[in-house]
Structure 1
Amino acid sequence: MRSSNRAHPYQRFIPREEVQAVQAWTFAPVDEATLAAQRAEAEARERAARAATEQQLQEAQARGYTEGFEQGRQTGAQEMREALEAPLREQAAEQARRLAAVLASAEAELESLRARVADELLALACDLARQVVRRELAQPLEPLRAAVTEALGELGEEAQPATLRLHPDDLALLQPVLDELLAGRRVQPVADERLSRGGCVLESPLGVVDATIERRWARALATLGRSEPWQPAAAGQETGDG
């Protein structure tokens, strides 16, 4: 009697309708010659891979060497340029400092020269003005008349009576026109030998109008920033006596 525990047919076979895809499986030969050929082929591929890897390493080393050499060359060139330029920059800075010092000294000398020239020009102008005034005083009537007229012009009614002091020679020179100059004014002319010729002093209860040649000369020079006396020789003599 057969056993009832017989395997179901589906346990040994797969129905066609349940098969989705089928691929043939071919068993490779396993003889020694084939295996040796496979091993040789694998070793060849491995050697080729090692050779390629070594080639890549060599190329990478070569590139690294080239790049490193170029970078080192540029760095060295930069350092050399900086080493060469440093003393040149220092030398240029020193030359610039020296040039600035020379220019400053030249400017100071030029300014001093300008001051000396200006002072000499003013002194020359004063000498020329002194000569012009002296030449005008050689014919003293008009300059003296102008000085007296200017002094009287500052005399108001409340400042009278007043005294007009003149050098004796000037008083004699003005005598013909004195009445005309003093018309309507209570002014007494007085000779005073202490005064220089060419000027006058008008004294009144309200003060003194100094119209002497020395005073007018000092006022004229004050506008130029100078204080030279009318008679330099006399001033030098007074300084020496003092």
Structure 2
Amino acid sequence: MSDSRPPARPQTAYQRWELASLAEEPVRNAADEAAANAELLARELRTARETGLQQGQQQGYQTGLREGRLRGYDEGHAEGVAQAQADNLALQQELTQALTQLGQQFGQELAQARELLARQLLDLALDMAQAMLCQTLELQPERLLGVIEQALQELPLVRQPAVLRLHPQDLELVKAARGSELQAAGWRLQADGQLARGGCLIETGDQQIDASLPARWQRLLHSLGRDGTWLEPAA
């Protein structure tokens, strides 16, 4: 059986190029689309990688910052506690030392105050005693007789001349009470306006006994370790 189709005419070079171009167009379009998709995918991957890297860096920074803060807080807290304990201990030592010094100073001041108070009380007692003595001698002048008796007993031996000096008013009292007895023993009674009432002055050949109120008061103060003078009562 013979082929009835007419034989194909030979194609020109343009026709062959045109057919080839038509055949290659879908392939080129597919390649371009694939390339575009690949580039888009590459950009998306690159963007995702950069975003992930940034997120990772940020997350790592935040985590590191948080951990650093926590670590710094813990270390700072520990250092703060240690410093506070050291400061508290130093403060306690300073307070203890200050209280000790204050206690010692208070003890010294208290002792000084007690000593001062004792001296003041003694001075007050002496002032009161002097006032009471003056009042007693004024109300009971006969007490002078006891003073004279005590002064005479201090003389181991009376040598002539023996003189007993008295305030003029006391002289009359002594003469009335013991004048005869004293004169019989060789005593000579003399008035002395320089003597205060309540005292006397005894003179013998080789000694003198000052039994005046100022002298007796001075001896009393000296025995108490005090200084002072007898104050004459106001007239």
Match of 1:207 in 2: 207
Question: What SS class does the counterpart of residue 197 from structure 2 fall into?
Answer: coil
Against the structure 1 CA distance between its residues 189 and 101, is the aligned structure 2 distance closer, same or farther, given a 3 Å change threshold? Answer: same
Higher helix fraction (1 or 2)? 2
2:114 is aligned to 114
- State the alpha-carbon separation in 1 of the partners of residues 212 and 103 from structure 2: 49
Larger radius of gyration: 2
2:152 counterpart of 1:152:
yes
* Native 8 Å contact 1:160 1:186 kept in 2: yes
Corresponding position: 1:170 with 2:147: no
After superposition, the C-alpha distances for 1:101-146 in whole angstroms (9 at most, x for unaligned) are: 2112212221221122112211211122112201211134322111
- For 2:185 and 2:84, the matched residues in 1 are separated by 94
Q: How far does residue 189 in structure 1 lie from its aligned partner after superposition?
A: 1.1
TM-score (norm 1): 0.57
Unmatched tracts of structure 1, length 5 or more: 1-78, 235-242
Q: Specify the alignment match of 2:26 in structure 1.
A: none
Partner of 2:136: 136
Moved over 4 A (4+): 79-85
Q: Which residue of 1 aligns with 2:48?
A: none
Q: Counterparts of 1:6-85 in structure 2 under 5 Å? A: 85=85
Q: Distance in 2 between matches of 1:184 and 1:107?
A: 64
- The change in CA–CA distance for 1:230 and 1:181 in structure 2 (over 3 A counts) is farther
Contact 1:201 1:212 in 2 (8 A): yes
* Gaps in structure 2 of 5+ consecutive residues: 1-78
Task: Name the counterpart of 1:223.
Answer: 223
* Aligned residues of 2:221 and 2:227 also touching (Cα < 8 A): yes
Change beyond 3 A, Cα 1:233–1:91: farther
Query: Helix, strand or coil: the match of 1:220?
Result: helix
Mapped partners of 2:231, 2:162: distance in 1: 29
Q: Any idea what SS the aligned residue of 2:139 has?
A: coil
Q: Percent identity?
A: 33
Tell me the CA shift for residue 184 of structure 1: 4.8
Tell me the distance in 2 between the aligned counterparts of 1:129 and 1:202.
Answer: 25
* Whole-angstrom CA distance in 2 between matches of 1:173 and 1:207: 25
Instruction: Tell me the distance in 1 between the aligned counterparts of 2:80 and 2:107.
Output: 40
Q: Deviation at 1:167?
A: 1.0
Question: Aligned to 1:123, what secondary structure does the other structure show?
Answer: helix
- 1:104 aligned partner, one-letter code: Q
Q: Contact 2:142–2:173 at 8 Å: present in 1 too?
A: no
1:158-217 Cα shifts (integer Å, max 9, x gaps): 533311111111111211123355165222111111111110010112211111011111
Larger deviation, residues 102-111 vs 80-89: 80-89
**Alpha-carbon distance, 1:87 to partner:** 3.1
| In structure 2, C-alpha distance between the alignment counterparts of 1:170 and 1:158, rounded to whole Å | 22
In the alignment of these two chains, the number of paired residues is 157
Q: Which moved more, 1:216-225 or 1:117-126?
A: 216-225
Residue number in structure 2 paired with 1:22:
none
Q: 8 Å contact 2:158–2:204 — kept in the other structure?
A: no
The answer (yes or no) to whether the contact 2:134–2:233 under 8 Å persists in 1 is no
Q: What letter matches 1:225 in structure 2?
A: G
Q: Closer, same or farther in 2 for the Cα pair 1:158/1:213, shift >3 Å? A: closer
The TM-score, its normalising length taken from structure 2, stands at 0.59
SS in 1 for 2:195: coil
2:92 corresponds in structure 1 to 92
